[in-house]
A and B are shown apart, each in its own frame.
Chain A
Amino acid sequence: MSENILEMRAITKTFPGVKALEDVSLAVRRGEIHAICGENGAGKSTLMKVLSGVYPAGTYEGEILLDGEPQRFSGIRDSEQHGVVIIHQELALIPHLSVAENIFLGNERLSVRGVVDWNRTNAEAGELLRRVGLRENPITPVGQLGVGKQQLVEIAKALSKDVRLLILDEPTAALNDDDSEHLLGLLRQLREQGITCIIISHKLGEITAVADATTIIRDGRTIETLDMRADEISQERIIRGMVGRELGDRFPERTSTPGEEVLRVEGWTVRHPVQDRLVVDDASFTVRAGEVVGIAGLMGAGRTELAMSVFGRSYGKYVSGKLYLHGQEVQARSVQEAIAHRMAYATEDRKTFGLNLIDDIRGNVSAAGLRKLSRRGWVNRHEEVKVAEESRRSMRIKAPGVMSVVGGLSGGNQQKVVLSKWVYTDPDVLILDEPTRGIDVGAKVEIYTIINKLVAAGKAVVVISSELPELLGVCDRIYTLAEGRTTGELPARGASQERLMQLMTQEKDTAR
């Protein structure tokens, strides 16, 4: 058998109007963890979809060799039969079905023809869960698990298919540090068991920690493959390959000159929409004009819930709390009212809450600001195109034009569309929930630059992020949230990740 489990040769894939891949080659050695890096829209996901048969043979040019044998996969099932399994960028589990049902979906354990053998299903699922280190009952509905655990269920599902080559497209994008660490540990374990992994990630720290080799893709072409074991490869080295130049400061400089207080939230308390528990419990914070305030907290600490409920009570049941804008108490009982009070909230979940994927860039950018574009209910569509065109240029959204459908953009560019939408409403307070999730290093700098521009123009910005270095890098002040309560407030300058972690994990009885 050849040393390479996989070789992809001269892969070219075009979409109408876009050449996503051009003459890309990739060689993966047996039993290694192979990372793929590149900017948003470089073509990473597309390459993996070609490999896994999502785009079947015939829709692309080039050759795929598995164990030296040419393969022409006709679909995902075909590639899975050859032991190639992909876990997509967006989780694809069905929330109402149990863990075991999800694991064996489309691959059911049967007794007689067509009848599910529940004993086998649950027993084998339990076995797989042990392999991925997840202590959960196989009959738990997947929707009740956190994202980190769901990601593990995805891997268990892959293992159930006798995977030899596991492809993970940004598996840690939505995970916190602990969960990511666990997942990377699991990948190392799988490597011991002889499973080859291809991992796509924008978190370069992970890549330097776990990868044996890294292939860099830029603008649909292979730039280089770095051997991570032979040389000491730094993150800066990878970045240079990705963007084709030295990337200056990871967090662009900004002189902070906070002004008047713009937003004050006091004693904010919110109940879960269906369960009888408080998700936000007496939280308070303030933001001043020209200031970036961070909110740190673990998964489930109530950061998103706090932000969304403040933004027009778009989450949960409001219990109590006061909202002041420019020193005046205001009521914002609906998203419309919140927008009218010049607030904006850019969601962490762009596919579900942020974008109309079947619409074009123009329609998405204007979605929250149609009032600005219209007179007496009639939209000025020419102005709308112009606005979208300006956003596309200033945000550097990579797309053929503003009539491009948003569903066809890469993750990072979709994120920029969400930001454009809210920036166009010209808010006084802009709440950014995980603004750089799934975004490449270069685009991150761009987004930080956009944040800096906004605060320079006197806006108040709130950043919610799971990445502590990011909070420390962009914020003036940081609040910590634990179990829905604000447990601390500290200036970013001089704060450490350890101190933040300590506050984020503060138990209820020791608080205050």
Chain B
Amino acid sequence: MSHTTAPDPGTARSDAGASTGQQGGGAGSRGPLAHLQALTGNLRQSGIFLAFVAIVALFAVATDGVLLSPTNVTNLVLQYSYILVLAIGMVIVIIAGHIDLSVGSVVALTGAVSAVVVIQGGAPWPVGVAAALAVGIAVGAWHGFWVAQVGIPAFIVTLAGMLLFRGLTLRVLDNVSLSPFPDGYSAIASGFINGLLGGNGYDAFTLLVFALGVAGFAVAALRTRRTRQGYGQQVESLPLFALKIVLVAAVTMGFAWLIANSRGLPVVLIILAVLIITYALITKNTVFGRQVYALGGNLSAARLSGVNTRNINFWVFVNMGFLSGVAGVIYSSRSNSAQPNAGNMFELDAIAAAFIGGAAVTGGVGTVVGAMVGGLIMAVMSNGMQLLSIDQSTQSVVRGLVLLAAVAFDVYTKKRAGITR
């Protein structure tokens, strides 16, 4: 994580664990210190994962295991999916050195438009989805125009947008809630794919999907490793590599087992998985993604390196708008209604997720996967505290402190690594 412009060997790039294997590829210069650096870099990377595991363990114990019960795990996924979707867009906005305060209002507006089209207008539900996404994209283009073309700071533009689109939501809905959506629409957020292959008290199909996913991950990791070796780069030792794969597989299949024992594979989880994988790849591996990091790190240098900074900034906001639309659909689908005050304060959760997940206020640093873990930390905490019937006021205090602690921990580890200035 990084919250200053300080150089940080571990996190300036998005390939969290992957880069450590390449550290110190320099011939001959790889002393014990380089190994130490790789290790501490690794620790800092894993810090966020460790924190996540610790929080899960803490609440699992405190709730007598209820937190990890199949029903609750499924609920958790359903309940926080739209925040995670927003966090994907938000972390990219933050990497580019901006912020978006309007996403809560946009979630409300897109949901409202969809409701008007489907519930009032009687259009088939996919038209509602399309309308919501289109509105989201239009809103993003609006922000992008002011930020990229006119050059107004995103903080101002999206603050205005927050008010503007909340107002429009009230207009569109005429100040009343609309419900219910047709079944097809509400299935987006509350539907399950279930029973396709049967199973004995658990859903075999869910397990199969996850098993395929894990296998895919293992194959991809192995191929990356091979290619890397082919290019003469250093890779982690085989046992360590295998251990990593096994760990990931075990955790993933454990999670699969839990949801398979509940209602099966949530549709929204599929949407989320597709988005996460797509955006993780886009940020890491495409010219667009790399240029977002470049301009967030040093705008002038990026411009002089031929990065079309206006274009990139514009599309970053269009993308945020699109994902806000997706979140708007999921949220309205889940609540099976469109409400004037929907999505209130969602922007703060999304921003917190990005920062807990290692993004830097100054831009140029952050990862999609980190933001997801950050979002999950917030989710598990809220959910756990609800299960323990802790009152709202305490919940708010705790969440605020955790955000602060996460960032403080980051600053501390970076100081210790000797990168103070």
Contact = CB atoms under 8 A, between A and B. Distances in A.
Given A363-B290, A367-B294, A377-B286, A16 B9 contact: yes
A256 to B, nearest CB: 30
B9 to A, nearest CB: 5
Interface string B23-38: 1111001110110110
Contacts of B293: 356, 359, 363
B393 to A, nearest CB: 37
B287 A371 contact: yes
Given A54-B421, A400-B26, A335 B303 contact: yes
A404 interface: yes
Interface string A356-382: 111110010011101100100111011
A385 B231 contact: yes
B8 A358 contact: yes
Contact of B301 (A356, A382, A402, A403): A356
Interface stretch (A226-234, A345-353, A466-474): A345-353
Contact of A401 (B15, B26, B364): B26
B407 interface: no
From B13, B40, B419, residue with most partner A Cβ within 10 Å:
B13
Interface centre among A353, A368, A379, A400 (most CB of B within 10 A): A400
Contacts of A14: 33, 418
Interface stretch (B208-216, B258-266, B304-312): B304-312
B343 interface: no
Contacts of B418: 14-16, 55, 59
A403 B364 contact: no
Interface string A396-425: 000111111111100000000000010000
A408 B23 CA distance: 15
Contacts of A406: 7
Contact of A314 (B6, B297, B304): B304
A16 B24 contact: no
Interface in B7-55: 7-9, 12-13, 15, 19, 22-26, 29-31, 33-34, 36-37, 40-41
B13 A360 contact: yes
A383 B285 CA distance: 12
A389 B227 CA distance: 16
A80 B293 CA distance: 38
B306 A358 contact: no
Contacts of B365: 358
A385 B232 CA distance: 10
A242 to B, nearest CB: 20
Contacts of B300: 352-353
A335 B306 CA distance: 5
A368 B231 contact: no
Nearest to B295: A356
Interface in B204-238: 227-228, 230-233
A392 interface: yes
Contacts of B2: 358
Interface residues of B, number: 58
Contact of B294 (A353, A359, A401): A359
Nearest to A368: B305
A408 B33 CA distance: 15
B5 interface: yes
A19 interface: yes
A321 interface: no
A272 to B, nearest CB: 18
B288 interface: yes
Nearest to A386: B231
A356 B364 contact: yes
A379 B287 contact: yes
A355 B301 contact: yes
B310 to A, nearest CB: 10
B170 to A, nearest CB: 40
A17 B308 contact: no
Contacts of B290: 363, 366, 370, 379
B302 interface: yes
B291 interface: yes
Contacts of B364: 356, 358-359
A77 to B, nearest CB: 15
Tell which of A381, A403, A407 has the most Cβ of chain B within 10 Å: A403
B405 interface: no
Contact of A382 (B5, B40, B233, B421): B233
A81 interface: no
9 contacts: A355-B301, A358-B2, A358-B5, A377-B288, A381-B15, A401-B25, A403-B19, A403-B23, A405-B9
Interface of B: 2, 5-9, 12-13, 15, 19, 22-26, 29-31, 33-34, 36-37, 40-41, 227-228, 230-233, 284-288, 290-291, 293-294, 297-298, 300-308, 360, 364-365, 417-421
Please list the 3 inter-chain residue pairs (A to B) with the smallest Cβ-Cβ separation, ordered nearest first: A407-B7, A356-B297, A405-B7
Given A356-B294, A381-B285, A385-B231, 20 more contacts: A335-B304, A336-B308, A338-B306, A339-B306, A353-B300, A354-B304, A356-B293, A358-B2, A360-B13, A363-B290, A367-B302, A367-B305, A377-B286, A382-B230, A383-B231, A386-B232, A392-B26, A401-B30, A403-B24, A421-B305
